[in-house]
Amino acid sequence: MQTSPRTSPRRTLPALVAAVLMACLLSWTGGSPAQAAAAPGQPGDPNIKFIGRWDTTSSSTAYTPYWAGAYYRAGFTGRTVKLKQRGTIDLWARIDNGPVTFYDDVKGTVNLTPAALSPGNHTLQVNYQVVAGSYKGDAVFQGLVLDSGATTFAPPAPARTVEFVGDSITVGTTSSQNARTAYGWLIGGRLGVEHTQIAQGGACLVAAADGCVGLERQFTKLNPNAATPDWNFSRYRADAVVINLGTNDVGHGVSSAQFQSAYSSLLRTVRAAYPQAWIFALETFRGRFVPQTEAAVKAAVAGGDARVSFVDTTGWLGSGDLTDSVHPNDRGHRVIADRLAPVIAARIGS
């Protein structure tokens, strides 16, 4: 008697094994069959590491960064690499340990290697230029163009991440390269850690009726200027979070009581997002809402959070460290990094 194909072990076992393997593959990649099969250099390639808050779900062919200072890193083989940009954008690119090159108002297929590289393995890091916390142009990654037969590989990556939360000072506004020359980016390089700048020019701690973006609310969002969607905090883990907020709230009618309550709320939100992180609450460089900031930290510690501390920044910056009365210049950001990097390293290492 013949066995029906429906029940034949010879027909069903391979299919079952294939189904199980595909299910495991999709579970490991967290995606669909299309994402699992992403070609080298294309969005979805697991060898491209996106640091910061990137929208990688709205489109499988275009990834968009939000907040300041987002960047990506990839390893690649071959002698040339090009970047596919949907629309005009300013960007910075660095290959291996070479110089950082600025590309002004580029779009389409951007050649990052006008002179061919030596054969072998190379690394690439790219970030888009920001102005006051918003990206200047169409900050959308559509993939890399590699040599025929070339591929990507996972580049070496730091084990720790530090997140910097703030306003235009944290963005690096008025410094020569904005996010790249801001204290958060500098500290990332000095400590050998990944770094994110969850910062927006003009931002307040408290959302004001006149429209000031309040990071007490927006910290949990993918986009600083949108109420939805929420950011998926499982995408990366911050080992330390540095908060520098309060400079702008004075001009938006925020009371001392409102500010302290909101700061306590933000500390709880950050703790929920990163249960093991060290949280550093900076005294604003202009000395605004200092008692309220310190009181919020003391309340958190009294409530059982032993991994949060207030950072006294009195006297860190002089008049020669500012481009105006508020924003540090390049030297000012270096001064901040000089003072703050050891504070962070003492808690998380380097």
What the block records as the tokens of 237 is 């883990």
Q: Evaluate whether 190 touches 85 at the Cβ level (below 8 Å).
A: no
Residue 274: strand, helix, or coil:
coil
Greatest extent of the chain over all pairs of C-alpha atoms, in Å? 95
Cα separation, 227 vs 218, in Å, equals: 7
Alpha-carbon separation of residue 284 from 181, 233, 242, 280, 293 (angstroms) = 19, 26, 12, 12, 9
pLDDT of residue 135: 74
pLDDT of residue 133: 54
pLDDT of residue 13: 39
Cα separation, 134 vs 214, in Å, equals: 16
Cα separation, 126 vs 91, in Å, equals: 7
Cα separation, 71 vs 177, in Å, equals: 14
pTM: 0.88
Superfamily name and number for 161-348: SGNH hydrolase (3.40.50.1110)
Cα separation, 29 vs 13, in Å, equals: 24
Q: Helices (H), strands (E): how many in the chain? A: 8, 14
pLDDT of residue 73: 97
Residues in the chain: 350
Cα separation, 146 vs 31, in Å, equals: 24
Task: List per-residue pLDDT tens for the chain, 350 residues long.
Answer: 333 333 333 333 344 334 434 444 333 333 444 445 589 999 999 999 999 999 999 999 999 999 988 999 999 999 999 999 999 999 999 999 999 999 999 999 999 999 999 999 999 999 998 754 567 789 999 999 999 999 999 999 999 999 999 999 999 999 999 999 999 999 999 999 999 999 999 999 999 988 899 999 999 999 999 999 999 999 999 999 999 999 999 999 999 999 999 999 999 999 999 999 999 999 999 999 999 999 999 999 999 999 999 999 999 999 999 999 999 999 999 999 999 999 999 999 87
Task: Write a three-state SS string for 320-339.
Answer: HHECCCCCECHHHHHHHHHH
Cβ neighbours of 264 (radius 10 Å): 18
CATH topology of domain 48-153: Jelly Rolls (2.60.120)
Cβ neighbours of 168 (radius 10 Å): 22
Q: Where in the chain is the domain with CATH 3.40.50.1110?
A: 161-348
The number of C-alpha atoms within 13 Å of 277 and in the hemisphere containing its C-beta is 25
pLDDT of residue 130: 77
> CB within 8 A of 180, min separation 6: which ones?
69, 92, 100, 127, 172
Q: Where in the chain is the domain with CATH 2.60.120.260?
A: 48-153
Cα separation, 249 vs 283, in Å, equals: 14
pLDDT of residue 242: 98
